[in-house]
Each structure stands twice: as C-alpha cells, then as structure tokens.
Amino acid sequence: MILSGLARLGRDAEVRHTSDGMAVANLALAYNYGKKDADGKRPTQWIDASLWGERATKLAQYLTKGTQISVVVEDVHGETYKKNDGTGGYSIRARVLSLEFAASKPSESKPAEQRQETKQQPATAKPKPSGGHSFDDMADDIPF
C-alpha cells in the first residue's frame, strides 16, 4: 500500500545505522484527517516511518519537530507490541519513498534579527493607479 499527503514531524529525526552500515532515520509523521471536532481540531493519525540510505543522513538535520512535509510512504502496515505496563499496543509503520518540504516553521522562517527589523519598518502607502483610484476604493461598488 502507498499513501501520500501532508504531515508534520512529531519529533526530530533519529538516525541509526544497521549492522552493515546502512543509515536509517526514524520519523514520527502526524497526519490530520476528517472533520473538525467541537474544539476545532481534526483527528491525527501517527505513522512511524523510516527513511533509508544517504537521504537519511543528509536530510536528518532538517527533519525537526514541527516541520511540515509532503511525503509518500510505502509498505504501510500495522504492528502490535507489548507496552511496559503489560498491555498491548498498536502502531502503523511505513517506509518513505519521497518527501518534499512543504513549509518552514514560522519561528524559523527568518532569523530573529530580520523578524524584528521587519516589524520596525514603517508602512509605505500603496501607489494608486493612473486613474487615481485603487482597488480598495472600489470594494463597496461590487454587488456580490
């Protein structure tokens, strides 16, 4: 089975190496789905995914908690396990086929100094078209 969609990383990527030296990064993918509840939140499905090989080592530093990615996973399957308290648990696992960074986290999109400079810059007036009217002036004239 192959799935694709937007997901957020629930924790930083963890890179390990197999006994033969192959790198593997473990990712916790959070997918939102369905309708919003009374609190305005949508349900979340977690998938434990693995990213293999050179991509794992090169991308791990960028795969940090909260990062939104567009991801395609394959070999999607469920696994049961025994928790520390003796009860059973269930997780969904998959292997990453491809991924693209969909958006940066707001706090990291610009360095702190640039964000402060942007806030302190005075607003400039929008130039008006040659007729002396702007689109903002016409907003009340639109009948729909």
Q: Which of 2, 33, 6 is nearest to 99 (CA)?
A: 6
Domain CATH code at residue 93? 2.40.50.140
The one-letter amino acid code at 88 reads G
Residue 41 belongs to a domain: yes
Would you say residue 46 has pLDDT above 80? yes
H-helix or E-strand spanning residue 56:
helix 54-59
Distance, in Å, from the CA atom of 106 to the CA atom of 76, rounded to the nearest integer, reads 31
Residue 130 belongs to a domain: no
Determine the structural domain holding residue 60 and report its residue range. 2-105
Residue 73 belongs to a domain: yes
Neighbours of 9 (CB within 10 A): 21
Residue 82 belongs to a domain: yes
Structure tokens at 142: 């639109």
CA–chain centroid gap for 45, Å, is 13
Neighbours of 10 (CB within 10 A): 15
What percent of the chain shows pLDDT beyond 70?
Answer: 72
pLDDT single digits (tens) 96-139: 999 999 876 555 544 444 444 444 444 444 444 445 554 455 44
Domains of the chain: total = 1
Residue 126 belongs to a domain: no
Residue 86 belongs to a domain: yes
What residues does 51 pair with on adjacent strands?
25
Residue 100 belongs to a domain: yes
Residue 137 belongs to a domain: no
The one-letter amino acid code at 28 reads A
